[in-house]
Amino acid sequence: QAGEGEPEMSTEAGENFDSGYEAGLDALQALAESGANERDALAGLMTAVMHATYAMAPTEEMAEEIITFSQRCALENWEREKG
């Protein structure tokens, strides 16, 4: 998932990324099954994940780097899917 000019992830980092991605897909499935409004539910899920990122990262700057990286990965995946 490295962007241009970024080093590739280590195998361990890639496996950890995949675990988080799969957990996100599970959360999305749970929201779909709950019948919650998609927009509101996504906003709640993203808020919880971003809050956790700020709380768990060693610095606010590192949290923002993780959020920026994740946003870039999401956009690249979406662009690739839509062709």
Measured distance CA(22)–CA(58) in Å, rounded: 24
Identify residue 61 by its one-letter amino acid code: E
- DSSP-assigned letter for residue 35: T
Residue type, 83: G
Note the pLDDT of residue 6.
52
pLDDT digits (tens, 9 = 90+) for 39-76: 999 999 999 999 999 999 999 999 999 999 999 999 99
pLDDT at 5: 46
The predicted pLDDT at position 9 comes to: 77
The alpha carbon of residue 30 and the mean position of all alpha carbons in its chain are separated, in whole angstroms, by 16
Confidence class for position 1, pLDDT limits 50, 70, 90: very low
- Read off the amino acid at residue 49: V
